[in-house]
Amino acid sequence: MAEGSLNFPRSLWFDCMGQLHRRGRERHESGCFVLGTIDGPRRRAMRCVYYDELDPRAYESGVCVLHGGAFSKLWEICRADGLSVVADIHTHGGEAFQSTADRRNPMIARPGHIAVIVPNFARSPVWRHHLGLYRYDGDHRWTDLSGWRARAFVKVPWSFR
């Protein structure tokens, strides 16, 4: 499978990182689903839906956990906007590694799904080569695309053409 790219409009990327930092208050994880379009290996981000918008209890345990109808709300938003989930993003307090819980519980258990982990509760500056980036391969297996590969994968250009 080609590694591809996840393309963010610059304003969306910075807003997303700011929202994740604000929502976690440097005390607990926070997260979002990135919605947009998928064209082969290329993903284009168009909006973020934050976990606590889907489930007000999402951060109660200190880590990101979605309960009840959160996913039905997410699918309703996707249908209404004509968008797909192109990735999920969540924060960690320290380094951006994939925990055992992250590996065992993909937010979207579909091969090809992209999970991004942002270090230091998304405190600015967020360097893309410090991101944890993982592609779900199915059967609880993941391909690690972190570090400099993440910087090449997550694109934040000055503008889209």
Q: Which residue's entry shows tokens 């998928």?
A: 38
What range defines the domain where residue 99 resides? 5-155
Burial class (CB in 10 A: 0-12, 13-18, 19+), 2: exposed
**pLDDT for 12 beyond 80:** yes
23 pLDDT band (50/70/90 cuts)? very high
The mean pLDDT of 28-52, rounded to a whole number, is 97
Assigned domain for 81 exists: yes
The mean pLDDT of 153-158, rounded to a whole number, is 92
Q: Which helix (H) or strand (E) holds 33?
A: strand 31-39
pLDDT for 160: 52
The mean pLDDT of 21-36, rounded to a whole number, is 97
Assigned domain for 58 exists: yes
**pLDDT for 28 beyond 80:** yes
| Rounded CA separation 21/124 (Å) | 8
Q: Of all residues in the chain, what percent carry a pLDDT higher than 90?
A: 93
120 pLDDT band (50/70/90 cuts)? very high
Assigned domain for 43 exists: yes
pLDDT for 1: 45
| Rounded CA separation 3/47 (Å) | 22
Locate 51 and state its tokens: 């976990």
Assigned domain for 61 exists: yes
Q: For residue 70, which phi and psi values (nearest 5 degrees)?
A: -60, -45
The mean pLDDT of 23-36, rounded to a whole number, is 97
Number of domains in the chain: 1
Which is nearest to 126 in space by CA: 86, 85, 88, 90?
A: 90
What mean pLDDT is reported for the chain? 94
Check which CATH number belongs to the domain holding 34 and give it. Answer: 3.40.140.10
| Rounded CA separation 5/17 (Å) | 18
Assigned domain for 34 exists: yes
The mean pLDDT of 89-112, rounded to a whole number, is 95
How many residues in the chain?
161
Assigned domain for 161 exists: no
Secondary structure (3-state) at 134: strand
Assigned domain for 53 exists: yes
| Rounded CA separation 150/95 (Å) | 14
Strand partners, 135: 114, 143
The mean pLDDT of 64-74, rounded to a whole number, is 94
Assigned domain for 160 exists: no
pLDDT for 158: 77
